[in-house]
């Protein structure tokens, strides 16, 4: 009898184990995985916290964080084309807007997105939003150390490129500071020179208006004017020496020592400079006067976040994305909390309002012009959009083999040829 009961209990135990294993297996099969590919390796601890808190709320979803450090842009493009970029990802900043529908899932209509996320309409296509901006790049201003300018006898903020050049010459003659920091090796920072173009023009569609124009470096264009200024600054040795390895960390070191008079940078770099400066009160950020007499900064979305079109768990991916943006302090570390409508305006808007500055944002591009500037730029191998153009110009000016107008003839020819080719398609 005892043996019989032992056998019965063993059988019951096996049945229970079998049932439990089925439940575990079922739960495992039902658990959806969402991979988040990003370039926020410096906040990996925070991402892990968000992952754990989300999984507590949604035990049926498994979040996998994949953070990439250097070369994120290149690595993410390769993985995207190989369909190995996960479910939610930080969209590479230089991806052409016209390619978004090929790679990403539409998230909201423009109206829906703008109810929650500022500036989410700028990169919309046909009333569909594919990317939520994490921050804005605001440029068009010039960073000044006003103490150095005052020491050089400059008591007024420069109003024009000619005023600025005279100020830089005075700094070179009367102080031992670097007049203008070039950032020659920082292509991402060199894009700020384009912001100066839009600021001087005072137009939010100047770049787009160029896609159907020839000779964008004609002598009456802003491109000609601004890049001639940079060329002449290099020719007159008004930039740092040597410049061949210059990146922004070198500029910050000069600012820390009170040895840098000016730099064409974006607003975020200005904020960094204020933190590093020997005397933060002397660091100012201000644009030159526009053609119409007003002062403008130029803002455009930086990195955005989106959902891969090939994701097998789109619903869960969107839940994770919205949780990150709406329910955590993620944007405090990975972008700008001002991107959320429910939060205060971004700091740069507050600064602009205080100083009487206007901010212009790009208009939504018409369907036929979406991504066209970038396509022509790439076809012509100029690199205006990505910053390599300014680097090549700095090198050409330093070598002195061609004068500026000779370079412009070559750039115009390349642009015109590429424009003709792209506009045929």
Question: Domain for residue 5, yes or no?
Answer: no
Question: Domain for residue 351, yes or no?
Answer: no
Of 291, 323, 339, which one is at a domain's C-terminal end? 339
Residue 10 pLDDT = 40
Considering the domain architecture, whether residues 206 and 153 belong to the same structural domain is answered as yes
Considering the domain architecture, whether residues 372 and 419 belong to the same structural domain is answered as yes
Question: Domain for residue 213, yes or no?
Answer: yes
Considering the domain architecture, whether residues 128 and 150 belong to the same structural domain is answered as no
Residue 299 pLDDT = 93
Residue 212 pLDDT = 87
Considering the domain architecture, whether residues 282 and 381 belong to the same structural domain is answered as yes
Domain with 280 in it: what CATH number? 3.40.190.10
Considering the domain architecture, whether residues 107 and 161 belong to the same structural domain is answered as no
**Residues 83/291, Cβ–Cβ less than 8 Å:** no
Kindly report, residue by residue over 129-142, the tens digit of the pLDDT.
Answer: 999 999 999 999 99
DSSP-derived secondary structure letter, 264: E
Residue 17 pLDDT = 44
Considering the domain architecture, whether residues 248 and 159 belong to the same structural domain is answered as yes
Question: Domain for residue 94, yes or no?
Answer: yes
- Given a cut of 90, whether residue 1 has pLDDT beyond it is no
**Residues 386/94, Cβ–Cβ less than 8 Å:** yes
Question: Domain for residue 1, yes or no?
Answer: no
Q: Cα 64 from chain centroid?
A: 25
Considering the domain architecture, whether residues 281 and 392 belong to the same structural domain is answered as yes
- Given a cut of 80, whether residue 357 has pLDDT beyond it is yes
Considering the domain architecture, whether residues 288 and 319 belong to the same structural domain is answered as no
CB atoms within 10 A of CB 153: 12
Question: Of 420, 423, 409, 411, which is closest to residue 384 (Cα–Cα)?
Answer: 411
**Residues 169/335, Cβ–Cβ less than 8 Å:** no
Q: What is the largest CA-CA distance in the chain?
A: 109
Considering the domain architecture, whether residues 266 and 384 belong to the same structural domain is answered as yes
- Given a cut of 90, whether residue 339 has pLDDT beyond it is yes
Residue 92 pLDDT = 87
Kindly report, residue by residue over 160-199, the tens digit of the pLDDT.
Answer: 999 999 999 999 999 999 999 999 888 778 889 999 999 9
pTM comes to 0.85
- Given a cut of 50, whether residue 253 has pLDDT beyond it is yes
Half-sphere exposure in the Cβ direction for 232 (13 Å, CA):
14
Question: Is the pLDDT higher at 158 or at 18?
Answer: 158
User: Into how many domains does the chain fold?
Assistant: 2
Question: Of 156, 397, 260, which is closest to residue 166 (Cα–Cα)?
Answer: 156
Question: Domain for residue 372, yes or no?
Answer: yes
Considering the domain architecture, whether residues 178 and 193 belong to the same structural domain is answered as yes
Question: Domain for residue 45, yes or no?
Answer: yes
Q: How confident is the model at residue 369 (pLDDT cuts 50, 70, 90)?
A: confident
Question: Is the pLDDT higher at 21 or at 54?
Answer: 54
> Per-residue pLDDT averaged across 38-45, rounded?
94
Question: Domain for residue 19, yes or no?
Answer: no
Which backbone phi and psi does 203 adopt, to 5 degrees? -130, 140
Q: How confident is the model at residue 41 (pLDDT cuts 50, 70, 90)?
A: very high
Considering the domain architecture, whether residues 219 and 274 belong to the same structural domain is answered as yes
Q: How confident is the model at residue 393 (pLDDT cuts 50, 70, 90)?
A: very high
Considering the domain architecture, whether residues 400 and 259 belong to the same structural domain is answered as yes
Q: How confident is the model at residue 244 (pLDDT cuts 50, 70, 90)?
A: confident
Residue 41: domain span: 30-135+302-339
- Given a cut of 80, whether residue 8 has pLDDT beyond it is no
b/e burial code for range 40-64 (CB count within 10 A of at least 16 → b): beebeebbeebbeebeeebeebbbe
According to DSSP, the β-strands at 304-307 and 132-133 are antiparallel
Q: What percent of the chain has pLDDT over 90?
A: 76
**Residues 9/40, Cβ–Cβ less than 8 Å:** no
CA 309, CA 306: separation in Å to the nearest integer?
9
**E strands along 31-173, which residues?**
32-38, 61-67, 88-91, 108-109, 128-129, 132-133, 136-139, 141-145
- In angstroms, what CA-CA distances link 160 with 131, 288, 395? 36, 5, 25
Residue 24 pLDDT = 43
- Given a cut of 50, whether residue 258 has pLDDT beyond it is yes
CB atoms within 10 A of CB 7: 10
Mean pLDDT (the chain) is 90
**Residues 256/196, Cβ–Cβ less than 8 Å:** no
Spatial CB neighbours of 60, under 8 Å, sequence gap ≥ 6: 27, 30, 31, 32
Residue 29 pLDDT = 56
């Amino acid at each position: 009898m005892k043996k019989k009961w032992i056998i019965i209990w063993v059988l019951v135990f096996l049945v229970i184990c079998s049932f439990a294993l089925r439940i575990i297996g079922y739960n495992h099969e039902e658990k959806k995985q969402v991979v988040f590919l990003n370039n926020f390796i410096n906040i990996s601890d925070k991402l892990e916290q968000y992952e754990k808190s989300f999984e507590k709320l949604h035990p049926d979803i498994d979040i996998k964080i994949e953070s990439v450090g250097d070369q994120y842009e290149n690595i993410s493009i390769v993985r995207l084309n190989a369909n190995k970029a996960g479910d939610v990802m930080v969209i590479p900043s230089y991806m052409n807007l016209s390619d978004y529908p090929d790679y990403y899932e539409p998230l909201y209509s423009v109206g829906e997105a703008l109810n929650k996320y500022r500036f989410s309409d700028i990169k919309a296509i046909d009333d569909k939003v594919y990317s939520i901006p994490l921050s804005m790049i605001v440029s068009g201003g010039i960073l000044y150390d006003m103490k150095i300018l005052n020491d050089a006898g400059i008591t007024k903020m420069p109003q024009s490129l000619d005023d600025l050049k005279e100020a830089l010459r005075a700094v070179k003659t009367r102080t031992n500071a670097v007049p203008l920091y070039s950032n020659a090796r920082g292509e991402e920072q060199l894009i700020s020179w384009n912001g100066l173009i839009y600021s001087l023009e005072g137009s939010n569609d100047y770049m787009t208006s160029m896609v159907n124009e020839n000779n964008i470096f004609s002598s009456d264009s802003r491109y000609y004017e601004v890049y001639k200024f940079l060329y002449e600054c290099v020719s007159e040795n008004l930039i740092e020496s040597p410049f061949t390895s210059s990146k922004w960390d070198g500029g910050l070191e000069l600012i820390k020592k009170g040895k840098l008079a000016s730099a064409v940078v974006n607003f975020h770099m200005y904020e960094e400079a204020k933190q590093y400066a020997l005397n933060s009160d002397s660091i100012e950020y201000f644009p030159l006067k526009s053609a119409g007499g007003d002062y403008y900064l130029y803002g455009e979305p930086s990195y955005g976040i989106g959902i891969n079109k090939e994701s097998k768990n789109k619903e869960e991916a969107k839940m994770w994305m919205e949780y990150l943006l709406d329910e955590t302090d993620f944007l405090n570390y990975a972008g700008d909390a001002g991107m959320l409508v429910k939060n205060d305006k971004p700091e740069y808007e507050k600064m602009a309002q205080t100083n009487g500055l206007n901010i212009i944002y790009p208009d939504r591009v018409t369907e036929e012009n979406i991504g066209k500037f970038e396509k022509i730029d790439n076809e012509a191998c100029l690199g205006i959009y990505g910053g390599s153009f300014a680097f090549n110009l700095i090198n050409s000016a330093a070598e002195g083999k061609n004068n500026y107008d000779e370079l412009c003839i070559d750039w115009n020819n390349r642009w015109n040829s590429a424009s003709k080719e792209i506009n045929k398609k």
